[in-house]
Chains A and B, each alone.
Chain A
Amino acid sequence: MAQVSLRPPNNSRLIRRLLLMVACGFAFAFALVPIYDVLCRATGLNGRTAGGFAAGGLSSSVAMPAQPRPAVDLNRLVRVEFTGTVMPGLPWDMRPLQTSVELHPGEMQQVSYLVRNLSDKTVTAQAVPSVSPGQAAQHFEKIECFCFQHQTLAPGEAREMPLAFIIKPEINANIAQITLSYAFFSIDDQRQTLTSQREEK
């Protein structure tokens, strides 16, 4: 090409740097997934509870008994309400046996949900918890939970699913009421459910 002498020799270096920026941007999008997860856990954003989230059943404080149990704060009462939702495509019914309890921070409490398979097929599903308000989530510690585990129910089977939790005494004094909500999602045929919904249209 003519006028090569006009073109400074460092074009390719600049292009390489700009392409590196593009690659970093793409990687940043994926890096945001764990960053967001950490942020949510640290701040209780989106009702993510501290600890025990990925572990499913037992939280780390039980797995390590060396850690002392928090003292019970008898001076205040916190009301905890329980709700549950079954997502579309899952032929189940769920409801808490008690809709609410009152307890002192630091005290352990056990409640149960009654879950029933309404269909004539064996179905596997999994529950995802959420705590609101978000600020309370990090002080809401589940000792035992049926969430994040595959739950399989035979046709027509009903099961009580237990849940044990502690509200840490460090919880903000302004919080008098906490709502724990579960959403049950179908696991084994989730893709098919979405497809069949689409075909029904």
Chain B
Amino acid sequence: MSTAIAHPGNPHDEHYPGGLMRWLTTTNHKDIGTMYLTFALMMFFVGGLMILAVRAELFQPGLQLMKPEFFNQLIGVHALVMIFAALMPAATGFANWMIPLMIGAPDMALPRLNNWGFWLLPPAAILLTMPFTLALFGIGDGAIATGWTFYAPLSVQGGMGVDFAILAVHILGISSIMGSINIIVTIFNMRAPGMTMMKLPLFAWGWLITAFLLIATLPVLAGAVTMLLTDRHFGTHFFNAAGGGDPILFQHLFWFFGHPEVYILLLPVWGLMPHVLSTFSRKPTYGYTAQVYSFIAIGVLSVVVWAHHIFTSGMPIPALVYFMFSTMSISIPLAVLFFCWIATMWRGAMTFETPMLFAIGFIVLFGIAGLTGLVLADVAADAQYHHSYFVVAHFHYALFAGGIMGVITGVYYWLPKWTGHMYSEKLGKLHFWLTVIAFNLTFIPQFFLGLAGMPRRIPDYALQFAEFNAISTIGAFILGFSQLIFAYNIWCCVRGGTKVEARVWEGAEGLEWELSSPPPHHSWEIPPVIR
């Protein structure tokens, strides 16, 4: 391994226990980042398998493969796994790997907390999925079947899968909060000398806002599911109308967390985009300051718009109007970001390596998510689209095209830096085109289904929806299986391949590219000085 940065007299060389103990006990930000990313990739396939089973059931009208109860369990756990066990850990993995490298810090500020934060994830994932296994042995009636939103009163009455999910969410929440505290302390206290906040890389800025949103809103979710737990087992009546409680209160509490969660998933990706676009356009990032303030504006707005998820719950008109306009106002800072991304590419010397392809795909598809979001934010229109497949298509454009494709962009962009090897550009491009085509094949028909009135979360449907559902299922299977190319490409790249230089991409700027590829186990022990 390289010792380019190791200095004589420094006791801190690369000694760590071998084998499993290295990973169990590591406090090294790179090791922990790798574990986060590996865990996220595994859970991505677990969540993907669940939804492929759902799409297989929806291939034709009627019930062919599973009972409706099992269908309900699959959709709920699919969402929880994808959000809490795939996307969020992937973003935290990026932060662990890259933020110390980018800001010239030797490690994260709280390395032991970091280790603990990661090792809480596997038990939580097991808790979440264990009821499926228990049901096979006749214990309980399977996993949580309420959808990922836990809406009371259904979740108050549900089987023990709900309890498993509540505890899993508690543990995942604690893990995320520890990760967020770590990232905030790192960014505030460990920047290299001369790196002011307004010289901070945009990826770190995006993550900083995400971390604050997590700290502000995840405890509210924890509180809401705690109330649910006490309603279920300890005789309280927070959401139980029989005792004077209110089920609608749960929806408010849930979405007070749930809407910022969308930006928690997206802000790290928005922070990553300018790096990729500027690298492959060989131009400096356009509108750095505007992007920073847009991040902050979106972060602040995201906590005051939650009730647009529950427009049909019978709110008074003034409240509807307020939530409609505040929601729509988020499109202003978001439009600033889109403008900056496009302006960064404008007249650049662009090349189209895999990360750049995914970044451009992200901009186009995430733009569709934003525009359909504006339609849903309209109170009058939402009455028709609410709880239909239109919503499903919309948030998959936001969270698959916006979230997952953003994460894939980051993986291709930084994989050579992490491993020291170049991935296969041919397989990467194949992965991109299959993903984009299959993604649209899956979700464009769902817009049509929603407009035609097909409700979400149903295992069976009326005959007139058959064709679009069949197309969507075919798309979903191509989409799912083309992700195996991604896994294979990563596997090969980790195992070996063409060696890359420190500055992997010719147009890349930033401290992370000053270090060798792969970076030494301990980096920036002597902090770089920023001019």
Contacts and interface: CB of A to CB of B under 8 A. Distances in A.
A145 to B, nearest CB: 14
A19 interface: yes
Interface string B216-235: 11111111101100000001
Given A128-B241, A187-B242, A11 B185 contact: yes
A2 B13 CA distance: 11
Contacts of B177: 22
A40 B110 CA distance: 44
Chain B at the A interface: mostly helix, strand, loop or mixed? helix
A29 interface: yes
A48 to B, nearest CB: 9
Interface string A106-145: 0000000000000000000010100010110000000000
Interface string A31-49: 0110011001001111000
A36 B189 contact: no
Contacts of B249: 32-33, 36
B290 interface: no
A7 B189 contact: yes
Contact of B215 (A2, A21, A126): A21
Contacts of B157: 194, 197-198
Interface string B136-178: 0000010000000000000001010000000000000000010
A15 B242 CA distance: 42
B514 to A, nearest CB: 18
Given A28-B220, A135-B316, A186-B242, A15 B185 contact: yes
Given A8-B189, A26-B222, A128 B242 contact: yes
Contact of A26 (B106, B181, B220, B244): B220
B223 A11 contact: no
Interface residues of A, number: 48
Contacts of B224: 29
B219 A28 contact: yes
Contacts of A27: 223
Contacts of A18: 180-181, 184-185, 215
A146 interface: no
B195 to A, nearest CB: 13
B244 A148 contact: yes
Contacts of A132: 314
A26 B316 contact: no
Contact of B525 (A3, A7, A87, A134): A3
Interface of A: 2-3, 6-8, 10-11, 14-15, 18-19, 21-30, 32-33, 36-37, 40, 43-46, 54, 87, 126, 128, 132, 134-135, 148, 183, 185-187, 190-191, 194, 197-198, 201
Given A2-B11, A25-B223, A36-B252, 13 more contacts: A3-B12, A8-B189, A11-B185, A21-B215, A25-B220, A28-B220, A29-B219, A29-B223, A46-B314, A87-B242, A128-B244, A148-B244, A183-B241
Interface of B: 10-12, 106, 109-110, 141, 157, 159, 177, 180-181, 184-185, 188-190, 215-224, 226-227, 235, 238, 241-244, 246, 248-249, 252-253, 256, 314-316, 319, 525, 527
